[in-house]
Amino acid sequence: MGSLSGKVAVVTGASRGIGKGIALVLAEHGATVYVTGRTVDAGSSPLPGTVGETAQACDRRGGRGVAVAVDHADDAQVAALFEQVKRDEGRLDILVNNAFALPGDLTEPRGFWEKPLSNLDMFTVGVRSNYVAAWHAAHIMVPQETGLIVAISGYTGVSYTYAVLFGTSKSAADRMARDMAIELEPHNVCSISLWQGLTLTELAQRNLATMPGLKGRSATRPEDACSPEHPGRVIAALAADPQVMRHTGGTFITAEIAQQYGVTDIDGKLIPSLRERRGAPLWKPIRETMDEH
């Protein structure tokens, strides 16, 4: 029996990439995983992966995958997702807010005024979507007095990476996770943010292969990278920890909390922390700063 047997998770933006990696690991540990994303039909996206394929892979890993087509910019679709979870499962133990509207020009070295205002979609799916999903999740988690909400963020929360709106969105996600933790703590629901470095998703691998000079940037050195499953291993360890509330309110470098739990990547590699080179999180667990609330 897996460490997450009987647990129910929602992982947003899991057709591919980090979301898919997290979903697979949670399923491997026995969880029922609701996989959300916009890609339903193979070939409809320039990158491989659909919500159905991820859900099927979750089944093969030993858990249960449930594919739900969701555009996280559409509040009605998000509401329907959580209504389905509550109706069919009666509980929710883990929410991973991973969905993010990455623009095609993200890594292009141009000024913000030279990029379209449509890049504000990063606020819509990446900040606002985190709030909406957590709002619905809290309506299930608070009455049951248990739960874990994880925001997927990165060093860009304090270190300039690619674009103004990218860093602004991720720093907002960190602060949102922090303040949610303060309000959720009396109900035994944990809220944290995890900082990813370079993660070898389908998109990252394509960009590294096609964009000259990308490998030489501080944020995109392949030797520092992890697989998309590495953060899933960390989240699985957190979700199985009966003392997880000691972390609530904190922003953590995934590589560092992995070391605390003895978590390695799928190839046994210990992922390095880039704290010294790229910066440190602003938010500590609220139990370490009790004067704030």
Task: Give per-residue pLDDT as tens, 48-99.
Answer: 789 999 999 999 999 999 999 999 999 999 999 999 999 999 999 999 999 9
Quick check: 51 and 39 in contact, CB under 8 A? yes
Q: What are the φ and ψ backbone dihedral angles of 55, each rounded to 5 degrees? A: -60, -40
Element (H, E) at 257: helix 254-261
Q: Is the confidence at residue 219, as pLDDT, over 70? A: no
CA count, 13 A, side-chain hemisphere, 113? 0
CB atoms within 10 A of CB 292: 12
From CA 245, how far away is CA 110, in angstroms rounded?
42
Which residue intervals of 61-184 are DSSP H helices? 75-89, 121-123, 129-144, 164-184
At 210 the pLDDT is 67
Long-range contacts of 73-78 (CB under 8 A, 24+ apart): 73/101, 73/121, 73/124, 73/125, 73/129, 75/132, 78/129, 78/132, 78/133, 78/136
At 104 the pLDDT is 84
Q: Is the dihedral of CA 267, 1, 28, 139 positive or negative?
A: negative
From CA 247, how far away is CA 257, in angstroms rounded?
10
Taking Cα atoms as reference points, which of 18, 135, 9 lies closest to residue 72? 135
What's the chain's average pLDDT?
Answer: 92
**What is the amino acid identity at position 139?**
H
From CA 158, how far away is CA 91, in angstroms rounded?
35
The pLDDT > 90 percentage for the chain reads: 80
Confidence band of 43 (pLDDT split at 50, 70, 90) = confident
At 242 the pLDDT is 97
Q: Is the confidence at residue 23, as pLDDT, over 60? A: yes
Q: Which domains does the chain have, with CATH numbers?
A: 8-292 (3.40.50.720)
Long-range contacts of 237-243 (CB under 8 A, 24+ apart): 237/261, 237/263, 238/148, 238/150, 238/190, 238/192, 239/3, 239/4, 239/7, 239/9, 239/26, 239/31, 239/93, 239/94, 239/148, 240/3, 240/4, 240/29
From CA 288, how far away is CA 252, in angstroms rounded?
14
Confidence band of 40 (pLDDT split at 50, 70, 90) = confident
CA angle 263, 283, 219 (to 5 degrees): 60
Task: Give per-residue pLDDT as tens, 166-194.
Answer: 999 999 999 999 999 999 999 999 999 99
At 279 the pLDDT is 94
Taking Cα atoms as reference points, which of 158, 112, 155, 151 lies closest to residue 128? 151
